[in-house]
Structure 1
Amino acid sequence: MPVHRRQPSIELLELMGVVRENGNDQTSLPPVHTPLSYDYVLVAKTMDNQEREAFKKQTEYIEELKKKNMKVTKIIDDDLVFYGIQAPKEIFEKYRYLLKVSDACNWSSDQNIVPLSTRIRIVHFILNHSPIRTGESLRDLLKTKVFEARFCLHEKKKQRELKESWARWTACLQGQPITAVRNYFGEKVALYYLWLGWYTYLLIPPALIGVIVFLYGLAFFNSSPLIKEVCEADTVMCPLCDKRCKVWQLSDTCTYAKVSLLFDNNGTVLFAMFMAVWATLFLEFWKRHRASYVCEWKVSDWCEEEEELILEIVNNAKCEPKKYKHSYLRSTLVLICVTAMILVIIGLTHALVVFRVIAAVLLAEGSWEFLSNHSNSGAMMLGAVLHYLIITVMTRINRIVAMKLCEIEKTRSFAATEKSFTVKMFTFQFFTYFSSLFYVAFFLGRINGHPGGYVRIAGKWRLEECHPSGCLTDLFIQMAIIMVLKQTISNVFEFAGPWLCRWLKRKRTQKLQRKCAHCYLKDESEAKHGAELCDNCKLRDWLSNYRLNDVDSFSLFNEFLEMVIQFSFTTIFVAAFPLAPLLALINNVIEIRLDAIKMVTLERRLVPKKTNDIGVWIDVLEAIGVLAVIANGLVIGVSSDFIPRLVYEYRYGPCANGNATDVDCMAGYINNSLSIARMGDQSILKEFSPNQMVTASGLNVSQCSYKDYRSNEDYSLTPQFWLILAVRFAFVILFEHVVVICKFIAAWFVPSAPMQVKNDRLFDKLNRLKEELNSFEA
């Protein structure tokens, strides 16, 4: 094995005036030597006498690679040892032949050259399936620090082209060179950016309509009788907590009522229906969009299982495939663990509820008057911030648990492990993000009881109540805080971390650039250490790649997970937050370039992976689409005041009999939705003290109002409550059936692939059969 040690001559290089300051710049001078392209690089620490066993394993693994005719170049740099791996041509010839005779893979006669991305994928598979005598694979050797790192090299020319055309902030409003991305990073990465770009493009219509719905609410901001009734009311409301909380004026919450109307109006109903259908159209049009590219890339009939078998044969012609196995015991154990984990996450949601209840009491009893008057809103905002912190912590825990469960399953292949991990991780993250939102949407203010019969936690703290204008604003606040915090903070850390690491390492990188300058001299005779200096060039390149941020097989998974969670926010509770598509659109325009810059310039090159779709994520997106129909129907029917207002307008309001012409049909709605508690009742005397029944102006009152439909005598539910409940359920059923029918019609109406694509595939198969027939006859 050749060993090359660096003997730099920096002074000579500086005298020649060929020192470069930017590692990505290329001199105009032709290279003396044309360096060999390396498919992979392994990095290890130099071993001392105490690490003899690790050095032995390291040497044994390199010998295993040499047995497979791999060319290994070793270069030592201080405390690091670099191994450049170059696979023989025969390996790629075998792959090309097996791919050609495979029934599940497309083949084209122009595919006579194996691109570097394919070479990297093949070598990556061989490296991971070349165990040493103890049975340890490269992954095991990396875990035990026998090797420090492994990576494939960035190609400087293509890297620069991608940076100029794609991975820069000034290209935010430009299209994406998807085919160039595919040629460099493989189909898997290319399809992620294709999907993200398509998702961002189709967010434009819902973003515009969401803004229109918001402006619709804004147009009736001051003219709405509901807002006027709240702002001009002299109604005294019951205390929101025990002891120090006092009665309060309904007019004190005028601003809150105005905000509620912005997100709880008739326009949100139509917008929610539109978004449910949009989710289906998005997926159907995505299938068409994807089909055009996978047909162009000749991977329409690609089969992951057959690709794996081809790679196994290329690695070892005498290989035996790993058999499929299923264990009901393991599946049961995993199911129990998943259920237990979901219950833990739901338990954290209950802890958030308790926190908000206690925070509301403490804020109400505090010395700050502003916080006392807005204790419920303050508690809701604090709860949203705490929820975000819990999400941050639980994301790490969820990942660890999901990986452990995949180990218990003992899946057959890495692809199966990745699919299993994706489903589990998304499930855990979904419950982490949305459990609290489901509580706010469907339970807040509906299980808190009434004066004289409040529901309490541990018999002490009262549950939260909704505002007389409805609970939808609480859901909006919760969503807005989590969505803005998540997108802003995650993007800052996602970019700032890798950029800071690169900035800190720049000095040493510039030092290595000076050592490499001899490789670009005009005349080879001018270089006194030609071969050795070109090893320095290799070393400069390898070190610059080594110092980039590490990537693994789940790096792309993290990006997908982030976007699919955002898709969930955009569709599931969009009735409560019409501006969510707009925020998602703005974020995605930034996200595309942020991910591109990070992947091209700040991270090691991802191993190019072959695929023809986005995998299990398409099933996750379809499940979210179905859940969006259910959730939006329930939000409008249960959470918002759309149904109570509708019932009041046509059954109890001034227009109910059809005779009123000069009165707004919603006049008196707020008072109609309130019930009265009197101090003369024994149960109320136990609930509220006389000190609490004093207004801010010092006026003693004998009764107060609260939001509910109950009798003023015995606090039983009124017939209006039962009528509203019946209409709520009827609306939810009708809404969901109508939207589901629209979804099926949309899915049927939009073909899964363009006719041109189907015809191209048809003729490709015909030509392939004809070629095979000609070969047979010859």
Structure 2
Amino acid sequence: MFQKRKQRREYFEASLMKMGMELEAARSVVDEKLLFVKVHMPWDMLCTYAEVLHIKMPIQPNDLSTTSSTFNFLSCITKHFYPSEDLIAKETEYFTAPFEKDRLEYFYVKDRDLFFTPSMRSRMAYYILSRAPYEVRGNIKKFGVTKLLDGGVYKAAYPLHDVSGKDECPNERYLLYNEWAHPKSFYKMQPLDLIRKYYGEKIGIYFAWLGFYTAMLALAAIVGLACFIYGYMTQETSTWSKEVCDPLIGGNIVMCPQCDKECTYWRLNSTCESSKKLCIFDNYGTLVFAVFMAIWVTVFLEFWKRYQAELEYEWDTVEFLEQEEQPRPEYEAKCNHERINPVTRVRKMCSSHMSDPSNSCVCACVQIVLILASVVAIIVYRLAVFFSFSTRLQSDLKELEPFKEYVTAQMATSVTASIISFVVIMVLNILYERVAIWITDFELPRTKTDYENSLTLKMFLFQFVNYYSSCFYIAFVKGKVVGYPGQPVYLLGKYRNEECDPGGCLIELTTQLTVIMGGKAIWNNIQEVLLWMKNLIFRYCTRVGSEKVIPRWEQDYQLQPIGKLGLFYEYLEMVIQFGFVTLFVASFPLAPVLALVNNLFEIRVDAWKIITQFRRMVPEKAQDIGAWQPILQGVAILAVASNAMIIAFTSDMIPRLVYYWSFSVYPYGDHSSHTMQGYINNTLSVFDIQDFSNKSRYRDFRYPPGHHRQYEYSIYYWHVIAAKMAFIIVVEHIVYLTKFVLSYVIPDVPYTVREQIKREKYLSQVILHETNLKLVTKRLKPVADKILKHNEDKEEEIMDLHF
């Protein structure tokens, strides 16, 4: 095995030198058994492969006038929120064209050392490394450094970071750290052009998207915070909370027990504090905020498309030609027959392995069923703990506060169930990540892009069900099928189905979202700290004497590898957060605030990680955020229906509006005036009990005992149901119509960008393509003159003969 690896390594390095690369070997300072092979690309080779990869290079500065911004008068203030121009100068805009080595004089070359950016150099080097052969057996040629890494021939392959430059001429890595990743620069805008220049477009587009998303969250956070403040200020003056707390109203309303045998009757005013807290999140401001967020998500996606189009032009990815991806090593390992490529007509090895899609679907369904089983387990836990708490608190608090045990049990059950649910989610995440990778590996995608797209859809599906299933249960299932005191509904034949607080399940949904969002952010920060400690310990264990200087390539080797999936987990984390912000924002107006605070740290932490903790990534081209774009659009569409249904079925907003406009008038006189007085009593139904002196109440809209339709749904119930359905239909149609109008009004590509693209194509044609005509004309001119002279001589001879 050792000899085979050595032969492959020698053949591979010989192939690289044959292709024009310069290799240099260096022994490790820390471990003498470790040998580093440094790869250099001379200028001529850079020019050759820049043409092969169709890399666009500048041909002349942009001469189109730019429109001045309306907010230029604020530049004296906004300049403090941008990186220092003394360190990171604003880059000159150029018109570009695909590089052609034979026409180098037509390109804007000021300095050969700076003509190709570091990301371009690294991409060209990796292109060669991925295509250099390392073994030839008959007609079969094996190539690519990726396969050598997987086979253990090499331990790692990575571009080098810039050396530390803190002096008069700081390098790009130091500038990025100082002006971007350092905590003191948390308030500054990101130097996206420098990020793209150093790390490539794929990294740049991620941070551009994250920064744009965070900036848009600022507007949503302001409106959400205003909604929260409004609810907090009005909780004491809210009519329904005042009626619950009133000892003459809520104190005289006796409620039915929440469980059989052990639970006791309780008075409505025992939920006074929870009713006030509910008013913070369930008020008219929440209704406005839910509609606002439905519009916000549309504006966010539409303006991101525009911003993305600008970046595509500025970063020359509008029409870049994606080279044919090489097959993954795992795919080629199972190649057992040849096939002719219908495009290139070249014979290539391919795999006859065909995964059965039904197997993947079965595996995915099994995992989703497991998630739903965990949700059912949490429901059983809620019922059992509520029963236990109610029994214990009844005996402990009977003498002190006779009717407080219900509130305490309900709160304790909600909080502990949310924490347990979060722990289960974190544990299942580890399991489902491995399952998703296993299923994708079983499908055997041919290329890395196919692999990432397939894994993205599976991981998001699992994460979606895992994170959101408990929230959907609380929002749309809990308390909806409980029957009434005479005929309760039982779960598993033992536990009475869960009921909501008299004010609804909204406060519990808010608790669930707070625990999951907050817990997830804390867990992610813990992981970042563990990564830093891991690197710190590794460096301490591999330190050498102070007389030895560790070179740059060895310092980079001591850093963490970025991983095969790159930024996949960073995208996944943000998209899951996007779901929390949009899908359930009607129940938690502070979700955008929490997301904004988290993302302000996330940007800098991610920047700090890739600059100081990870090896430099191989730059890649990217036009957009890939498979995440349709996922975001799908979440945005679902968010409209989700929030409309939360307002209709989870919130108490619609019953209040129905009561206010249809069933309430001042008791004396003016029937055109409406009031919310008596609302609480109207939402409760009466149940007759023989062993109690008064009637007890329960949350429902049913006719009272003695009515000819007793315990059947009342007319008020059908009014509320009709109003809820009408609300959902109207809101969805209004929001979707608004989304359509905004999509039509806001073009995906700005007008200025379209003009610049046209100008660039024109210049490319004039400067480069018309040059061919001049060269052809120059070459054919002697021949044309000779033919012309010959024709003139012929004419003279004919004239002489004629005369």
Q: TM-score range by the shorter chain?
A: 0.7 to 0.9
1:431 aligns with 2:423: no
CA distance in 2, matches of 1:396, 1:304: 34
Could you say which residue in structure 1 is the equivalent of 2:701?
709
Amino acid in structure 1 at the alignment position of 2:224? G
1:709–1:720: 8 Å Cα contact kept in structure 2?
Answer: yes
1:169 aligns with 2:183: yes
How big is the shift at 1:54?
3.9
1:94 aligns with 2:104: no
Could you say which residue in structure 2 is the equivalent of 1:500?
533
How big is the shift at 1:335?
3.0
1:473 aligns with 2:507: yes
CA distance in 2, matches of 1:131, 1:338: 39
1:777 aligns with 2:730: no
How big is the shift at 1:277?
1.0
Q: How does 1:211-610 map to 2 (within 5 A)?
A: 211-232=225-246, 233-234=250-251, 235-305=253-323, 320=346, 330-366=356-392, 369=397, 373-494=407-528, 496-507=529-540, 511=544, 514-516=547-549, 537-538=550-551, 541-610=552-621
Could you say which residue in structure 1 is the equivalent of 2:743?
747
Amino acid in structure 1 at the alignment position of 2:39? Q
- Give the SS at the match of 1:301: coil
How big is the shift at 1:238?
1.3
Mark the CA change 1:322 to 1:441 in structure 2 (over 3 Å): closer, same or farther.
farther
How big is the shift at 1:128?
4.6
Could you say which residue in structure 1 is the equivalent of 2:158?
151
- Give the SS at the match of 2:356: helix
2:390–2:409: 8 Å Cα contact kept in structure 1?
Answer: yes
Residue of structure 1 aligned with 2:37, choices 46, 59, 84:
84
CA distance in 2, matches of 1:133, 1:642: 73
CA distance in 2, matches of 1:192, 1:666: 50
Amino acid in structure 2 at the alignment position of 1:647? V
Mark the CA change 1:360 to 1:182 in structure 2 (over 3 Å): closer, same or farther.
same
CA deviation map 1:475-509 (0-9, x unaligned) = 11111111111112212322x11221233244466
Amino acid in structure 1 at the alignment position of 2:745? F
CA distance in 1, matches of 2:55, 2:154: 37
- Give the SS at the match of 1:675: strand
How big is the shift at 1:653?
1.8
- Give the SS at the match of 1:166: helix
Amino acid in structure 1 at the alignment position of 2:470? S
- Give the SS at the match of 2:419: helix
CA deviation map 1:667-702 (0-9, x unaligned) = 11111111122223xxxxxxxxx7xxxxxxxxx655
- Give the SS at the match of 1:768: helix
1:653–1:665: 8 Å Cα contact kept in structure 2?
Answer: yes
CA deviation map 1:47-79 (0-9, x unaligned) = xxxxxx245325423432322315251524436
CA deviation map 1:407-434 (0-9, x unaligned) = 2333231112111111111111111111
TM-score by structure 1 length? 0.81
TM-score by structure 2 length? 0.79
CA distance in 2, matches of 1:82, 1:167: 32
CA distance in 1, matches of 2:723, 2:10: 73
Could you say which residue in structure 2 is the equivalent of 1:763?
759
How big is the shift at 1:209?
0.8
1:447–1:455: 8 Å Cα contact kept in structure 2?
Answer: yes
Structure with the greater alpha carbon radius of gyration: 2
CA distance in 2, matches of 1:83, 1:55: 19
Which has the larger displacement, 584-593 or 506-515? 506-515
Could you say which residue in structure 2 is the equivalent of 1:738?
734
CA distance in 1, matches of 2:492, 2:320: 59
Could you say which residue in structure 1 is the equivalent of 2:27?
75
Could you say which residue in structure 2 is the equivalent of 1:200?
214
How big is the shift at 1:284?
1.1
- Give the SS at the match of 2:686: strand
CA distance in 1, matches of 2:668, 2:623: 62
How big is the shift at 1:639?
1.2
2:241–2:272: 8 Å Cα contact kept in structure 1?
Answer: yes
* Structure 2 unmatched runs, 5+: 58-95, 100-106, 164-170, 328-343, 398-403, 776-803
Q: How does 1:107-146 map to 2 (within 5 A)?
A: 107=98, 109-110=107-108, 113-128=115-130, 130=133, 132=135, 138-139=145-146, 142-143=149-150, 145-146=152-153
1:285–1:750: 8 Å Cα contact kept in structure 2?
Answer: yes
- Give the SS at the match of 1:374: helix
CA distance in 2, matches of 1:183, 1:673: 63
Mark the CA change 1:423 to 1:299 in structure 2 (over 3 Å): closer, same or farther.
same
CA deviation map 1:532-577 (0-9, x unaligned) = xxxxx53xx2332122222113231111111111111111111101
How big is the shift at 1:305?
4.8
CA deviation map 1:617-653 (0-9, x unaligned) = 1111111110111101111111111111111112222
Q: How many residues align?
A: 676
How big is the shift at 1:615?
0.9
Residue of structure 1 aligned with 2:12, choices 59, 64, 69:
64
- Computed over aligned residues only, the root mean square deviation of the Cα atoms, in angstroms, reads 2.9
1:237–1:249: 8 Å Cα contact kept in structure 2?
Answer: yes
The structure with higher relative contact order (CA 8 Å, sep 6+) is 1
* Structure 1 unmatched runs, 5+: 1-52, 310-317, 517-536, 681-689, 691-699
- Give the SS at the match of 1:606: coil
1:221–1:261: 8 Å Cα contact kept in structure 2?
Answer: yes
